[in-house]
Amino acid sequence: AACSMGNSTSRLYSALAKTLSSSAVSQHQDCLEKPNTAQLEPIDPKDLLEECQLVLQKRPPRFQRDFVNLKKNAASNHRPIRVMQWNILAQALGEGKDNFVQCPMEALKWEERKCLILEEILAYKPDILCLQEVDHYFDTFEPLLSRLGYQCTFFPKPWSPCLDVEQNNGPDGCALFFLKERFELINSANIRLTAMKLKTNQVAIAQTLKCSETGRLFCIAVTHLKARTGWERFRSAQGCDLLQNLKSITQGAKIPLIVCGDFNAEPTEEVYREFSNSSLNLNSAYKLLSPDGQSEPPYTTWKIRPSGECRHTLDYIWYSQHALNVNSALGLLTEEQIGPNRLPSFNYPSDHLSLVCDFSFNQDPDRLL
C-alpha cells in the first residue's frame, strides 16, 4: 500500500536522514548482495522532491534546461521511453581526490549534494536511469529509488579508487535502474571489461528488457571506461570488448540497443569511431542537437583542476538507429549558467552534465540493418 501522506514530511525526512550515515555499508565485500527493501513503503516522488528542496532551500534554484524536439515523422502511438545518463561524481572522489580547486568544500557536503542529485533525477522522471561513479548505492540510491518503483542493479569496480580515501563509503561503480511498471527484466549481465585479453578495473551492466506497452524487447547498457590521457588504446580495447558482448546479447542487433556511458573519450578517439562504425548500427543521440546532426556537443563535463580548465565531451547515449527514434533530447547547460568556477558547484552536484533522451520504437525495425 502507498504510504499515507498525512505525515509524509517526517517520514521522508527520516528516509533521507538514514542515507546520511556511511555506517550502512560497513562491509565492502558484501557490495554485490542486494539488501531486502521489499518491506519498505512506496514513496510519492512529489513528496521526495519537496523534501529535497527543503534541504536545499539555502542553495540557488535548479538551472532551467529545456527539451529539444527532434522527431520529424508522425507521432508514435506509444509513450516514449525516457533514458537518463549521468556520471554523478563519487562522493569519496569529489571530497578526497578530484581537486576541484574552484569548488568550495561546503558545496560537496553529501547531505546536500545527495539532494541535488535526487532533485535532478526527480525533475526529469526517467524510465531508465544509468549512473556512473555511484558510491552511495546501498545507503541512498537503492533504498530510495526502489521505493519510487525502480528495479535496481549495481556493479562496483573491482579496485575502486574510492577505497583509497579515508572514511569512504565503499567502492564506486555503475548502476542501472528501470521502472518495474513499464518494463520486465528478461536478462541481466554484469560485464567486467577486458583489454589486451586482461581483465580491467572498468565494468558494464547490460539488461534485456521487455516493454510492457509494446511487447518489444530492447537492451540497455551502462558503462564507464578508463580515464586519463595516454590510455586511448586501452579505452579502444575496452570498447571493442563491450561491443563484442553487446553483439552477443542483442543477437547481432536483432534486439534494439541503447548504450549510456562516460567513455572518457572525445569524439576524435578510436573508441568513438568503433561505436560509430559498429555492425550494431549505432548513432550518438546528442549529435542530433547540432545543426547538421553530425557534431557532438561542445562539452559534457567542465571543471577546473590544479592543472587548469578541463572542458570535454566524454558522455554519450548511443542507440540502434534502425530500430529506435530519438523524439527529444535535454539541452545542455550554457557557459553562463555553469559560471566562471565551473562544476561542481552550489548549483550543480557533479562535474558531468546529465543527458536525457526520449526514445520510441521504429515501426519498421528491420530496415537499414
14-24, pLDDT tens digit by residue? 556 655 444 43
Residue with cell 581537486: 99
User: Is the distance from CB of 136 to CB of 114 less than 8 angstroms?
Assistant: yes
Q: Which of the residues in the chain have pLDDT under 70?
A: 1-39, 73-76, 364-369
User: Is the distance from CB of 204 to CB of 241 less than 8 angstroms?
Assistant: no
Q: What pLDDT does residue 98 have?
A: 80
Q: What is the rounded (10 degree) CA torsion for 229, 235, 236, 240?
A: -170
* Pairwise CA distance, residues 235 & 263, whole Å: 8
- All domains in the chain, ordered by first residue: 81-361 (3.60.10.10)
271-330, pLDDT tens digit by residue? 999 999 999 999 999 999 999 999 999 999 999 999 899 999 999 999 999 999 999 999
Nearest in space to 288 (alpha carbons), one of 259, 316, 261, 326: 326
* Strand 217-224 versus strand 198-211 pairing type: antiparallel
- Residue 238, Cβ density class (10 Å: 0-12 exposed, 13-18 middle, ≥19 buried): buried
Q: What pLDDT does residue 369 have?
A: 44
Q: What pLDDT does residue 36 have?
A: 59
Q: What pLDDT does residue 40 have?
A: 79
